[in-house]
Amino acid sequence: MKALITRKVGMTSTIDKDGTVLAMTILSASPCVITQVKTTETDGYQAVQLGTEESKRLNKALVGHSKAAKIMPKIIREFLINEITEEIKVGATITADIFNVGDIIHATGTSKGKGFAGTIKRHNFHRGRKTHGGRSYRRPGSIGSMYPQRIFKGKKMSGQMGDEQVTVRNLRVALVDSELGVIGVVGAVPGPRKGIVIIKEAVKK
């Protein structure tokens, strides 16, 4: 399975083969190092742990954990895999050229936080009328009946908006530059500039 830890640089545009102008997100793909390989025998499942970017401040637990990989990773993420090959070993480096132009991927990031928002901004509610004595301009309206005398979980109400994990599926890779460590993806990717974005190959079923 192809996977990489990247950072969002920003957005630009590109021209497709048929002349269509497409929006493209640029991702900075620094080399990722395998810090741990988890197996079914020892951990109960198969996974690969990747680390990227150098950190000057790590606690003793992380220093000892990443000692075998000879890296002081600032960011560590884990990816499930189906099988462990000979190439997958602690200390191995994964770069941007693991992906090819045309690959279909899933991008996971943390969306921009919007703070406490009302129902109109958060859930696209309609406002009340501003004529004939109407006073419910931006009020949420009724939130339930007398029975069962409680609010159902998941009710659309005011609250924290954004700052949550979002996955955008089936994005196409349009640019891969291994020398600069850059990957271009057609479409928008969640999160602000410099935000961490996890890209994984879309598994065909």
Range 39-45 average pLDDT: 91
pLDDT of residue 181: 92
- pLDDT tens digits along 109-120: 999 999 999 999
pLDDT of residue 115: 97
Say yes or no to pLDDT of 195 above 80. yes
Range 59-71 average pLDDT: 88
Half-sphere CA count of 58, side-chain side, radius 13 A: 19
CA 176 to chain centre: 19
Q: List where CATH 2.40.30.10 sits in the chain.
A: 3-112+165-201
Q: How confident is the model at residue 205 (pLDDT cuts 50, 70, 90)?
A: low
* Calpha distance 183→171 (Å, rounded): 12
pTM for the structure as a whole: 0.85
pLDDT of residue 85: 83
Q: What number does CATH give the domain 3-112+165-201?
A: 2.40.30.10
Q: What percent of the chain has pLDDT over 70?
A: 100
- pLDDT tens digits along 142-160: 898 888 899 999 999 999 9
* Calpha distance 61→27 (Å, rounded): 30
pLDDT of residue 108: 96
Among 46, 26, 27, residue whose Cα is nearest residue 36: 46
Among 95, 112, 88, 51, residue whose Cα is nearest residue 183: 95
pLDDT of residue 70: 85
* Calpha distance 203→190 (Å, rounded): 20
